[in-house]
Structure 1
């Protein structure tokens, strides 16, 4: 008993563990005595061989280390057996500091390599790997059981334990694989190089917790084997196909770790996650794997591939393979269909748990480890294609990312992190006892007391209470994310008709009379027409040809959609507008799942479609915008320019810098989404008219800035950088500016407005670029302008960014696409028509070199501020206005019928705009304040402030202009024309006509 008295103080060990500690002490005592006798016999010292005291190395253990020893042997039979089997390991680990901190990866790799160098056959290799693993696991278990009490440090310790086990598995895999490659090279040869000349090795993908770098203490390792290219081996006794060679090598690698020998096993290997599982080939080529996942890959395999990571062999080639498989794992759109797959997996797990009575399983049971993983991986599957930051193998990193992206509240991710760490700690303590893969709580007093001590809990009841709290919180968050929506929102249930009845209505199972009665009870004004419309969809070829899972999603959605439609003020109109969207996404059923899984998003969809056919059309044309319905808080709150720029930066930062196509697609989605936000806020009246135009203009400005940057990168990559006037060349100075005219320049963009643009540059007109393909500066900037127009107008499945009108540049379509600032200034001063100076009033520098933009603004003020002959100016403005009314306004017959064209008819918007432009040109020379602004509202305010326009007239013009623009916005959203009933705006029309007649001295009768 000397060992117990000298080395294993029992003061901190609970009474129920004393017997276990005593038994462990006896075993260690016997092992040490045997080791001493063997050592003495080898030394010929018979007296020492009879000594009953522990070895000197063990006696030299410091007192704190002895207390740790007592804790470890009381809690872990694995550690006790290992120390009894190899007593020399404890002093060695203590001397190397491995009981306190893990060795470096490099040190571990070097040690295993040294052990394997002496292995002459497979048996020796396997023994070396197993002893290396057992020694390292002793250190890992020791550190895990003796680390700081659970809490913040404890959570960090749990992740450190998982990381250490994962690293150990990778080192063993790589060491064994390298030994096998060398050992069998004389017999099997080596694989032929790839087409690019690079050597080929087996690619070992770690799946599950190994791929995540978060293995538990006694975990299987899930692997997939692959190789890059087919061929035959070279240099062996006989040639083998790569398929045969890598299969043989893979079989040997599995045995190297998994086979049970006198030394035990290293790691249990599970290969069932490979294509076709146990029935499929052990190894597949990259081409075979890519074809399988593309054509046959199942939803659960997407889930499995989330954590795939190269862990041994050719890791660079492994990264290449995973990059090719990424589109299979992560969809470009929001994939809410993944939730149903996770639900099905969870249902299967629940049935197994129930069948086997595994409620005490802390991994698979309610509120267990797997439910935390499902919560995180649900977001990764759904959003990982869009939010590429979520393409992570580590659960810990993904949890942090969910909070950063605001997909889950920080308090939720923090709770999940803490509870997950507690559950994993508990799992580690269970597995440390016997080095067995178990997650089931013990039913013996000894087992329970061991767990309580390992988790630093007062006793078993205290541990159970803590566990129940953690599992309860996990289950709550799991249900919030994974549970079917009808379980979480009872409001989805139909009020006027049961869900079954609506389902029968949708599936045409009701008689015509029953269907009409049901639709009538739901508030449809024309139930027969609605029934007919639903029937056309049900009987359409598109629905008939849907795959089973897609049809199931549609069938589950339609009763919910009908119920949501019935809640709208005009169900007939809402149904008519929303069904084209449903038809548009029948082949992309993840959108059906999105609406099915998010009742709030479905209600927002119906609300917006009922209010605006334009929005309904946009959503049908760009279903990716349905994502925006998930966030009502931001849907009705457009971002300001700074936020827009930041959001766009973040979206583009997820895309490789050289992938212009993907960047452009992201730009289009961004633009459409932000315009949808503005329209939604406009519909609900959350934003005044001026703000609506401001936001639409901000969107265009941010897009133009990014398009310019993309175009500049593209052309400078091909042609180099142009020479500036001072002879310098800098990569960040384009000497280029985009000027906005019309509604863009006047900060008055509407829905669907095109962009009136002029391009200017200020580089050396006689210079050239410095690239391998040098161009004259003039040609270079023309190419730049063409590239900008292409990026803005190119049509893809996501539509285009904007229509562009370049006719306001000097000399119009006959002029140069890009003009130097000098030439632009000369044209404006010497050749420009009055109408071109009118257009310049509404011009504004939008993007480009800041100094050039400032010079343009100065030039604009100078040109507009020229002294003009007022009478001649008035006549030219009036003549132009008459021409516009003749060609663009309503006919006399239409006018007599009481129809008014908001823009072009007398007293309309253009009258107000021409008044402002005339005032700036007529008064700018003597009233410089008039030259500041490009928008009509502030020009009117300036006219009033400088005393040039009576306050009542200024107010009346502003009110009329806002009314007209408001009606124009509403007409756009309603897909109506620009004509309204005169009676609705007659007072405004009359006042504008009167003020026009007064200012422009045009007889109203002549208009």
Structure 2
């Protein structure tokens, strides 16, 4: 007998069944219940996406009531529709199990979609609507509405599932779904009118005559407005209230709005409230003026007043797809006519790009990380990418061309092609990809009749999806097709939006151009270029001609324009790229890198559009672009390697001027390397500080060797001369744009004292002369020397000892805390360090000296801040800034470093850690101070990288703040967040400072 069953089971497996034993038994029982031959059942099941689920579902329904299924067998289309529905959707299987009689409604329909009028008639009939009022307003009316809606939804789904080419039917099915949603809202509104007008004297209820004369227009937004709705999707709406003049005169506008608001609430409840029959979908009114905080219902005049005075650009763009969906059609059309001009003029607003991108990001920022790889809608290469691209093109060009003002995505694509804004081939591919993605989305929602945009991850679910869509034979194949579409969508986005820009600058006959110069100008302005005309000139210069270089640039330019547009300063980035390209000419390695390494090319656009500091240096050192192809090239070179190179430079050059010119070039090159590594997140703030300090030390050491060889004759060779780093330089904490604070010390060592002093002054003068660099200044600042600017520029070690013994002030001892020898005689550096230790780590602290330090700090706060600058924005001298943290750390060192050797460090953060370990400050205090110091340091460096200029003030300009934030790793449009982070961090640090410093 087992051999007798192997044939049928094998056949079941071939037809797509997986649970063969169960399916075999269920087919037998189902056949007995409905009087059907096994072959007929197998034939029906073979058309189902999930044959096992289809047979199991029909058996459950037949066990409850076999009659409707038995009757449907005589209708060929209805019979096929039933199998397709329960085989693709457990949601419909559950619906038919709850309501077996609804199976009969599949008969006599044929392969066609219900029209909008049919849908409206059916759903109004379900609630017995007459003159806008349902027959009854009880909960049973809502149940009847939901059951009838699902009957119509089953008709739409059956047509969709049984079509020969489901991809081509996506638009028709989506339009029918939007019409069904509008009809459901219309029917629910008629029930709401009954509920709101029942019982005149009851709280919150109104006379029937007033309710009848109150108009409520329901405006469809998003996919509902564009007639491209999903099977299970939130329906975005806006409610508009109105009434005839007589009613307004009689009861007043506020009461009309109250009635309309109650109608809106009840309408929404009828669709998505909890009842015996499950909700249909969520009615979402959050796109209304002021969002969730705003009134649910407004009059037309109130809407327009808000849009004229308060609305942001994204609110107009959200209205792009607005359409009267239900309720008072005339009022709805009046609303749409009034707001449409505002939609298309929004592209001319200054913040247009930000608002469009913000709209795009709002829906993606909350995607769970685990869901991102499976997102059909919001992930890279998903439905949202297509919709965003088409919408942005519409908004850019729709300002002056009303022929592309379409609601639907596919209709808009067709219009953009017809009017010459995009090429036919690209638009056709984009249209196909959009339909396939929407088909996948429809099928995953049908599976359980619930809102989802996630591709299945389990193999068996992928297999069902493949059969339901007809796109592939296997689950693996449908997933591979999806992955290919995602890649293509990202590529087509570039081809549609950016590549046509080249046609505007190419030497093409006018009839062959995709965009005119004016249209290209508008498109560049829309994506963030502030000088579109200049950008077009740069693009033309880069892509003109027949050379290999121009060919490669033409291929790359659309992608690079997109990358530049995503950057902080697209205009400067493109200009700098052009200059670098011209400097490098036809250099093979550069063209090869751009062509073959998208990572390097993208990094190049990122550093050029993100930093004028980098761009200006790269113009002088264009070969640095090669570093972008190798991350290791962006890491700082060691001090030993730089010393060896500097010594080799001095050996090669006969004159000091030539040698110093090469040393300055070495410094520029390494500063550029460090800046690029910083911007591309290769380096941390500690890495940057260490690298900048090393570069400065090597430069100064090389200069001192060179000028000493030129200035000090052999007979005076015994003269010792050294350079002491002070301030942030001494602490090894330099940032971009920091001065190099230094002191100069000498020891005659047998040389005539006057002669030694004169030679030392000559050395200092030569050092200052050769350190001058108009590209990246190196300011050797000696203002921290004894007596400050009034004191001698250079002293002997004995003079320093005498001064510190007799005259030293408290601030001078404080300044020595970060003194560190970095160049010259090692023996002299050792002697100076021993002298400094006696002063900066005193065994007995002078209370008067500490009070003087506090007095000076208070005076600095009061007098040193630049006039007109908001103190809270000053990163150095403002409350909670660098000065607060450094002075507190130094006060602790002066008091305790003699007894606690760990505090004897030139590093600010190192001193804070040592103080924390010694329990001189709490963990919280140390963390808050360190956080403020690090953030201030990062903000200062980022400001310098962005602008190429040094500033201690956090900019007020939002664009600059956003640029600084981008350099620090914040997402785009984070100006407010950068500001808030600094103000909060500095405020917390200031509280700690005041408690520990002045307290």
TM-score over 0.5 for the alignment? Answer: no
Output the TM-score relative to the length of structure 1: 0.44
Output the TM-score relative to the length of structure 2: 0.44
